[in-house]
Amino acid sequence: MALSLAERARLISPSATIAMAQKARDLKAQGRTIFDFTLGESDFDTPENVGRAAWRAIERGKTRYTPAAGIPELRDAVARLYRDRGLETTAKQVVISNGAKHALHNAFMALVNPGDEVIVPAPFWVSYADLIRLAGGVPIILNTSESDDFKLKPDAFRAAVTPRTRLLLLNSPCNPTGMVYSGEEQTALADAILETEVGVVSDEIYEQLIFDGTEPVCFATLRPGLADRVVTISGVSKSYAMTGWRIGWAVAPPAIAGFMADLQSQETSNPCSISQHAALEAITGPQDSVREMREEFARRRLYALERVAQLPDVTCRPPSGAFYLFLNVSAHYGRTLGERLVTNSTEFCMAALETAGVALVMGQAFGADHYVRLSYATDLETLSQGFDALADFLKK
C-alpha cells in the first residue's frame, strides 16, 4: 500500500505570493520582460557592517550548535530593544527563531488548543490562517472596510468574541494594506481586550518601516497587565534587508517563551549561528541603513501613489507603513482584459501578468477579493516601467 498524506495536508495551500513570484520567474526564463511586484522583500543589500559581522563569526568558528532559543548576546540585545520601548523584558522572555514566520508557528503551537478560535482581521497576511489551522485552531476572519483604513474597531472585536476565542492576531504595520494603527487606536483595542480573557499575538515585523515621522508602537506596552497576555513577533528581515538570513523572534511571558524554546529544540535545534551574529550587529550597530532605506521607501511610496491616481478605475488608500499598495481593482471585474474575462482578483492578476508582464498578488489570498497587492520594494525605474505597462493594459 502506498503512503498517503496525513489529514493535516488538507489544511494548508502554497503561499500565493511565492506562487505568483514563481510564475513571474518562469515567464522571465522564457525571455519575457516582467515587472515583478509580488514579494515582500527589499531590493536593498544587507548592510555592509552586518555582512562583516557574519564573516567575523565564521572566522571565530561560530559554526556550532547554539542554545535552542538563540545565543545569549542576541537575546539580551532584543530584550534591551524592548525595554527601550517601555516593555519590561528579560532575555528569558526572548526566543530567536528561523524568521518571524517560524516565531508565529511557535506561538500558535504554544497557545492554541484544538478548536480554539483566533480572530484574524482581514485583509491578512497569506500565512496566518494556515498556521492557525496547523496548530488545531479555527481562524475567525473579521472583515474590515476600506473606509476605515482596513482597521479593526473595538466594537467589532467585542462582537466576535465567543467562549472559544483564544487569541486576537494583530498586524501593524499591516501586510498587505500598509496601514498602521495609531497609538490611540491600539489603546482602544487594548482596553477592549482587557475586558475579556483573550490573548494577543502582535506581528510587528514592519515596525521600523513607518512614514510621516510616526514612531513604532509596541502593543504590549499600552496598558498595565497587557504584557502578560501578549506575544510580540518581529525580526530583522524587513528593516535590515535580511530576508534570506532567516532571523526572527518572539517576546512572550516566561512560561510561553520556555515552551517555544523547547518546541524549537525538537524542530530545528537552533537558528543559524552565523545569522544570529549578523542579526546582533544589525540591531546593536549603526542604524543609518534603516533610516536611508525608510527614506527611499517613502519616496517610492509617493511616486507609486501618484501613478495609481492616474490608473483608470483603480483606487488605493494611502499606506502609512511597510512597502505595499493595496489596489481596489473591482471596477474592472466583468471586463475582458487581454484574453481573459476578469471576474475576481486571481483572474485580474493572471491577465496582468500574461498580457502586460506585471506581476501582482491577488487579494483573494489576503481575504479581500476586490483588491490586488503591489510591492514597491523595487527601484523607481522598474516602478515607472511597470506602471506604464499596467496603465496601457487597463486602458486597452
The Cβ of residue 146 has, within 10 Å, a number of other Cβ atoms equal to 16
For residue 254, cis peptide bond before it (omega within 30 degrees of 0): no
pLDDT of res. 18: 80
Q: Are residues 225 and 305 in the same domain?
A: no
Query: Which of 284, 299, 331 represents a domain boundary (last residue)?
Result: 284
Count Cβ atoms within 10 A of the Cβ of residue 288 and give its class: 0-12 exposed, 13-18 middle, 19 or more buried: exposed
pTM score of the predicted model: 0.95
Total number of domains constituting the chain:
2
Domain at 306, CATH number = 3.90.1150.10
The DSSP symbol for 316 reads E
Is 5 within a domain? no
Q: Are residues 82 and 148 in the same domain?
A: yes
pLDDT of res. 15: 78
| 202 strand-pairing partners | 170, 232
pLDDT, tens digit only, all 396 positions of the chain: 789 999 888 888 877 778 788 888 888 888 899 999 998 899 999 999 999 999 999 999 999 999 999 999 999 999 999 999 999 999 999 999 999 999 999 999 999 999 999 999 999 999 999 999 999 999 999 999 999 999 999 999 999 999 999 999 999 999 999 999 999 999 999 999 999 999 999 999 999 999 987 777 899 999 999 999 999 999 999 999 999 999 999 999 999 999 999 999 999 999 999 999 999 999 999 999 999 999 999 999 999 999 999 999 999 999 999 999 999 999 999 999 988 899 999 999 999 999 999 999 999 999 999 999 999 999 999 999 999 999 999 997
Q: Are residues 55 and 26 in the same domain?
A: no
Is 85 within a domain? yes
Query: Which of 284, 316, 336 represents a domain boundary (last residue)?
Result: 284
Pair 138, 117: CB distance under 8 Å: yes
pLDDT of res. 308: 98
Antiparallel, parallel or unpaired: β 199-203 and 230-235 = parallel
| 199 strand-pairing partners | 167
Is 131 within a domain? yes
Is 201 within a domain? yes
pLDDT of res. 3: 92
Q: Are residues 275 and 314 in the same domain?
A: no
Nearest partner of 356 among 394, 326, 384, 325, judged by Cα:
394
Alpha carbon of 33 to those of 44, 92, 108, 291, 385: distances in Å?
21, 50, 41, 32, 10
What is the rounded distance in angstroms from the CA atom of residue 220 to the CA atom of residue 201?
10
Give the domain extent around 140: 48-284
pLDDT of res. 389: 97
Q: Are residues 280 and 293 in the same domain?
A: no
Is 333 within a domain? yes
Residue 301, helix vs strand vs coil? helix
pLDDT of res. 226: 97
Is 209 within a domain? yes
Q: Are residues 69 and 212 in the same domain?
A: yes
Q: Are residues 269 and 316 in the same domain?
A: no
Q: Are residues 148 and 240 in the same domain?
A: yes
| 138 strand-pairing partners | 117
Q: Are residues 306 and 351 in the same domain?
A: yes
Q: Are residues 147 and 58 in the same domain?
A: yes
Is 6 within a domain? no
Is 2 within a domain? no
Domain at 143, CATH number = 3.40.640.10
Count Cβ atoms within 10 A of the Cβ of residue 70 and give its class: 0-12 exposed, 13-18 middle, 19 or more buried: buried
Pair 221, 263: CB distance under 8 Å: no
Q: Are residues 189 and 294 in the same domain?
A: no
Q: Are residues 180 and 272 in the same domain?
A: yes
- Grid coordinates representing 234 are 518581529
